[in-house]
Amino acid sequence: MCARRVNGSFRRRWVIAFTALLLLVLGVAGYGYAEATRAPVVRRATFTLPDLPPGTAPIRILLMADMHAQGPDMPTARLERIVGQANALHPDIIVLAGDFIGNNVVATRRYDEAAAIAPLAGLRAKEGVFAVLGNNDRPDGAAAMAALRAAGINVLEKRAVQLGPIVLGGLRTRFGSTVRRILARSGARIVISHSPDGFASLPPGIDLMLAGHTHCGQIVLPLVGPLATGSEFGSRYLCGVTVENGRALVVTGGLGTSQVPFRIGAPPDMWLIELRPRPPQALPTLVRRG
């Protein structure tokens, strides 16, 4: 009789512990999914650049990346809402730093390149929308580039364009032909790259680099930090603004998710970057963030 009472008590405690653990896991998963599907945070930075001519009006660039269109967290309907949010900021230039295609291990819906990119046709910017591919777009890069062009988006794979006082180029490799094309032009030189890792070895003459890929860690736990960074430099270029050697890097946390549809401690975001000419007396690369 006594043994039965002990065994019954043990089973009840085990059931209570298992139930508590299950509720904790479900609670964390629910929070992570809610964080992953919230409206993106709009982060802001202002840079004064030496290569902008004096008197140049402020230029507003919106940086977006890592859409990862897929179900359940980034259906095309959500991406359309984000496009509306982006247009409401009235940027002069929109930059898309790649990874339009989803890669979650378990997805309720997958989109091909055309369907994943089609909602981005609604983006509006005075000087245009420009994009590079991400690592998840490259398995069928030709299809991704065709879908971007069909959406009215300028693909800057190994290309550079002059937009008034701005030179904008898409970087695929660390150096290569893109950087040579950018440096051959005059103006404030800006590089778009999916990954931020090339920033460490950019040659002189580049004022600003815009990137994504890291998701700002996507799942960042207290005391532990990010579970993964996607960068060979660890957390050095994980997120936000970095200024080194007189030039600046902005890394967006991106909009979608990778591998699992959760975010903890790293909400989706986009960056609205304002560029101004540097007064002669100013210190190098003055940065304001918000």
Please, how many CA atoms are within 13 Å of residue 199, restricted to the half-sphere of its CB? 30
- Is residue 98's pLDDT more than 50? yes
Give the alpha-carbon dihedral of 52, 196, 224, 272, to 10 degrees: 40
Query: Residue 279: which pLDDT band, with cuts at 50, 70 and 90?
Result: confident
5 found inside a domain:
no
176 found inside a domain:
yes
Tens digits of residue pLDDT in 40-56: 999 999 999 989 999 99
Residue 179 confidence (pLDDT)? 84
Neighbouring CB atoms inside 10 A of 157's CB total 15
Share of the chain above pLDDT 70, in %: 86
Whichever domain contains 167, its CATH number is 3.60.21.10
CB 81 within 8 A of CB 230: no
Q: How many residues does the chain have?
A: 290
222 found inside a domain:
yes
Find the domain containing 185 and state its range. 37-289
Residue 18 confidence (pLDDT)? 58
154 found inside a domain:
yes
15 found inside a domain:
no
DSSP-derived letter for residue 56 is: P
104 found inside a domain:
yes
- Is residue 282's pLDDT more than 60? no
Residue 5 confidence (pLDDT)? 58
Please compute the mean of the pLDDT values over residues 233-255 and round it to a whole number.
Answer: 94
Residue 24 confidence (pLDDT)? 60
Residue 160 confidence (pLDDT)? 92
Share of the chain above pLDDT 90, in %: 69
Report the predicted TM-score, pTM, of the whole model to 2 decimal places: 0.89
* Token pair for 178: 């893109």
**Amino acid code (one letter) for 47:** F
- Mean pLDDT of all residues in the chain? 89
Tens digits of residue pLDDT in 113-170: 999 999 999 999 999 999 999 999 988 899 999 999 999 999 998 899 999 999 999 9
102's CB contacts (< 8 A; 6+ apart) are 68, 69, 70, 74, 110, 111, 116, 136, 256
Residue 284 confidence (pLDDT)? 45
Cα 188 to chain centroid distance, Å, stands at 22
Tens digits of residue pLDDT in 60-88: 999 999 999 999 999 999 999 999 999 99
**Number of domains, the chain:** 1
What DSSP assignment string belongs to 256-271? S-SSSS--BS---EEE
- Is residue 23's pLDDT more than 70? no
**Cα 247-250-253 angle, rounded to 5 deg:** 165
Please compute the mean of the pLDDT values over residues 202-230 and round it to a whole number.
Answer: 92
User: Strand 188-193 relative to strand 166-171: parallel, antiparallel, unpaired?
Assistant: parallel
State the Cα–Cα distance between residues 260 and 267, nearest whole angstrom. Answer: 14
CB 253 within 8 A of CB 268: yes
